[in-house]
Chains A and B, each alone.
Chain A
Amino acid sequence: MNLVELTGIQLKERIVKREVSARAATEQLFAHIEAHEPRIKAYLTLDMAGALAQAAAVDAKLGRGVQCGKLAGIPVAVKDNMCTAGLKTTCASKILGNFVPPYDAHVVERLKAEDAIIIGKTNLDEFAMGSSTENSGFQVTRNPWDVERIPGGSSGGSAAAIAAAMAFMALGSDTGGSIRQPAALCGVVGLKPTYGRVSRYGLVAFASSLDQIGPITKDVADAALLLAAVGGHDARDSTCADVPVPDYSAELDDLPAHLRIGMPREYFGQGLSPEVRKSIEDALAVYRRLGAEVVDVSLPHTDYAVATYYIVATAEASSNLARYDGVHYGYRTPQKGDIVELFSRSRAEGFGDEVKRRIMLGTYALSSGYYDAYYMKAAKVRQLFKRDFDAAFERVDCIICPTSPTPAFKMGERTANPLEMYLSDIYTISANLAGIPGISIPCGFTAGGLPIGMQILGKHFDEMGVLQVARAFERQATYPRLRPRLAI
């Protein structure tokens, strides 16, 4: 059997039982990557030497009978916007094309502490700004289900790597849907935790009040394990909550009795592909069979989500990205000039179009005379999304809706029209604005064989509930469990 077909947990069990060595698994994985990466292009950096060394260290530890961490020997891919000491971290931007961080992000420290093996850094839309990974400054990642299509974004590299079995687990980041949407489009599991569940220290900021790191995995059990490994308090991130991390894996198979599921009517309206709608409705039927009650709920401010998001996110981004100026590190224009020319040329040459567009939008939204009408208004409207969800969660335990209105679209299909691209995130953005957790799990396929994702949203810090509801479907559902041909 090819080890790459295993989930992370399945592999770990074999490694811990010493049925297979971490080194052998890693070697097999790199052989698989070598075969498929040229077509998928999921990775910006691969670190085979580092990975093999880490694998050997895990094997040695096991050989000495030392207790290993939660992720013992599991090869994990990391989105290239999380800092890895000594390993290039580019955010898929030319402006950080040669940037090697001197430190590890909190999540990377956690991975290492739990004996995971970091295999490389995955592609993304530049600075995580996009929904297709086409905005990468270096390469376009293909969807393993159809290489003419995009993998979604911005964590498209991580999602494609998991779908193509080129990693056992991966980390993504989600600002407006960047974990869930590519997970849906690639037929894998992607979890955006509650804002504050995972430390952002070392995650290169796009929009600080929305960004959250989470797992992209082959199944729900892996997502639960990876979240438990990277979640929890970190004093270096003031917005990281000091809330205990439950043992998600232990209670994963318990489904709350009398489960009430909310179906938000606003998420099933215009623009939703009929095939996606059908697939979600079928999934809800599965839950009814399991004894759950499906209730109609309303999230009345949904129409304002995209507008609110694009003001808050771009405003924060315009400030967060100011530091890339060619002075201290990263790309610097070769042209000589005064300091203003150094700033503007370095940025003009280093950033891609979408990043520039968002910096301009955000700068505008914060400018004196416009601040009240845009940023301030958006900050107020943001409270309404929280209220919408609070009201809904008084009646239901979780909310189920599509992750993305359509399955994976063709490359280049939406690049000419940014607004159309922004609408790809219409069902995922509200969770970021409200700070609540959400997971996307595969729930079926289109007639054309493209995966469809279902989103489960939960209350603040109720990742456990979200995972349990996801896991119940994963165990019970009867849709065909296909794999992309590539991955086999």
Chain B
Amino acid sequence: MEYEAVIGLETHAELATETKLFCGCGTRFGAEPNSQTCPVCIAMPGVLPVMNRKAFEYALKVALALNCQIRPTTRFDRKNYYYPDLPKNYQISQNCTNLGTDGYLDLQVDGQMRRVGITNVHLEEDAGKSIHPEEAGSDFSLIDLNRAGIPLLEIVTAPDMRSAAEVDAYMQTLRNTLLYLGVSECKMQEGDLRFEASISVRPKGATQLGNRVEVKNLNSMKAVVGAVEHEIERQTEILRQGGTVARETRLWDEVRGCTERMRSKEEAHDYRYFPEPDLVQVEIHEQWLADIRAGIPELPLARRRRFTEQLGLSEYDASILAESHELADYFEACLRCHNAPKPVANWIANDVLRELKEQRKTPTEFVVKPDMLAALVKLVEDGTISVAGGREVFAEMCKTGQPPQAIVEARGLAQVSDSDALNKAVVDALRAHPAVVADYRRGKKNAGAFIVGQIMKATKGKANPKVVSDLVRQHLDKA
């Protein structure tokens, strides 16, 4: 029997607001422990939350970009549970009145379009961090509340994915979308994106869902893919042997590469949700929504499509360039200076990306500005310099930030493309090597390459090889 997996994903994305969700504390990552706290976010007696309007607008922006229905009024709820790094012992969330519902995200998986339903999008606050000293015998834990109260956006999909590859594509697309919207930095290593997956397996074609397993502790996209693959395999094996998959919560063990059952005590929560009485309902007016909608840029998938359909880029180049909006903006800025999509895309996909990676810079920080790259591409394209010369110039541009023309001049890299000037060199070379000419005439066609090589040597590489080889062929065929 064939089996298929049914997968849904819950994503927590940290929003890139200057201040926390309910107080004015900063949100900088890596600050001195407990330095970004105040009476509100450490839950002193008597404090009250005040909603961060920016965070709410970011959430609306995402909900709209994910094609969600927006409720005209939303409120916040309290989710009650005890945890030492949750200072109020309740989390302010929107579990009961999600800000956005019934949306979707389109993705491309192996060249095919897939639509993943978004069940809901809502805001909530993050908890702090517990630190357990590793020294043997230490009998205390430390708590850092810098993160407590940082706005999180929870994005929940419908169980619409069927494979780890789809889950991977969903995560990449969602991440790019959040980056395009400018609402989250999506830095995985700083925990900006966290995931929980629910996975079930059923006989292919069955309409009923299998027993669902939730997997937590997924702190990277790699972990999600690993856990999904592992779970599909594990559950399929159980079903194949005639067993039943237990409905449970499991934890991903990154090191061992497998999931493990969570103690049932940790699962048994009654969160006692009720409306947060310290906050008022938020009413979302049409004008407010319209303003936010106006701020949504062209999203990755649409841009990628435009790159292939209107600019004629390959799927591969388009996907690389559209992946980050900064890179795509850089690309389009180049085109405004020199409208040659394919060569510009080539330079960016190869040379620019490699250099950015080495320098750990973003396209906006990159010393080679779009107009400079465009000028370089043009110089290579019109034969002023060779491709090899272009690479040399690019390397120098990366180092010094000089415009390409200046480097070409300073280094004398301009090719000789003038056929009159090269004609004499060709005639001289043919005269100097009569045996080679005879070989050619006897049908040894690659003998011409030897002549071209001689000329390149004589001109110290400055001759335009294309012009030279054309001239050589003309002379040999003529005589």
Contacts and interface: CB of A to CB of B under 8 A. Distances in A.
A101 B274 contact: no
Contacts of A238: 48-51, 278-280
Interface in B60-103: 78, 80, 82, 84, 87-90
Contact of B82 (A99, A236, A322, A329): A322
Interface stretch (A19-27, A201-209, A404-412): A201-209
A204 B89 contact: no
Interface in B129-145: 139, 143
B45 A375 contact: no
A81 B45 CA distance: 9
B177 to A, nearest CB: 31
A96 B45 contact: yes
A380 interface: no
A209 B274 contact: no
A368 interface: yes
Interface in A8-55: none
A316 B277 contact: yes
Given A83-B46, A101-B46, 7 more contacts: A105-B46, A200-B46, A208-B278, A236-B48, A319-B78, A327-B87, A366-B274
Interface string B259-294: 000000000001011110111100000000000000
Q: How large is the interface on A (under 10, 10 to 19, 20 to 34, 35 or more residues)?
A: 35 or more
A103 B277 contact: no
The binding surface of chain B is classed by DSSP as loop
Contacts of A103: 39, 44
Interface of A: 81-83, 89, 91, 96, 99, 101-103, 105, 200-205, 207-209, 235-239, 315-316, 318-319, 322-325, 327-329, 336, 339-340, 343, 363, 366-368, 371, 375, 379
A24 B272 CA distance: 54
List of 5 A-B pairs having minimum Cβ-Cβ separation, nearest first: A322-B89, A208-B277, A366-B272, A209-B277, A204-B45
Nearest to A326: B84
B426 interface: no
Given A96-B45, A327-B84, A319 B278 contact: no
B221 interface: no
Interface residues of B, number: 30
Interface in B378-399: none
Contacts of B143: 327-328
A375 B274 contact: yes
Nearest to A208: B277
6 contacts: A101-B45, A322-B80, A366-B272, A366-B273, A366-B274, A375-B274
Nearest to A235: B50
Contact of A323 (B43, B270, B273, B279): B43
Interface centre among A327, A336, A367, A371 (most CB of B within 10 A): A327
Contact of B280 (A82, A102, A239, A328): A239
B7 interface: no
A83 B45 CA distance: 8
B435 interface: no
A223 to B, nearest CB: 23
Contacts of B278: 205, 208, 237-239
B89 A323 contact: yes
B42 A328 contact: yes
A102 B89 contact: no
Nearest to A362: B272
A339 B82 CA distance: 10
B39 A102 contact: yes
A476 to B, nearest CB: 40
B449 interface: no
Given A319-B78, A367-B272, A101 B48 contact: no
Most buried by A among B78, B88, B278: B278
A328 B278 CA distance: 21
Contacts of A91: 45
B47 interface: yes
A83 B48 CA distance: 13
Contacts of A325: 82, 84, 89
A180 B49 CA distance: 28
Contact of B46 (A201, A209, A336, A367): A201
A201 B47 contact: yes
B46 A204 contact: yes
Contacts of A239: 48, 277-280
Contacts of B48: 200-201, 236-239
B418 to A, nearest CB: 75
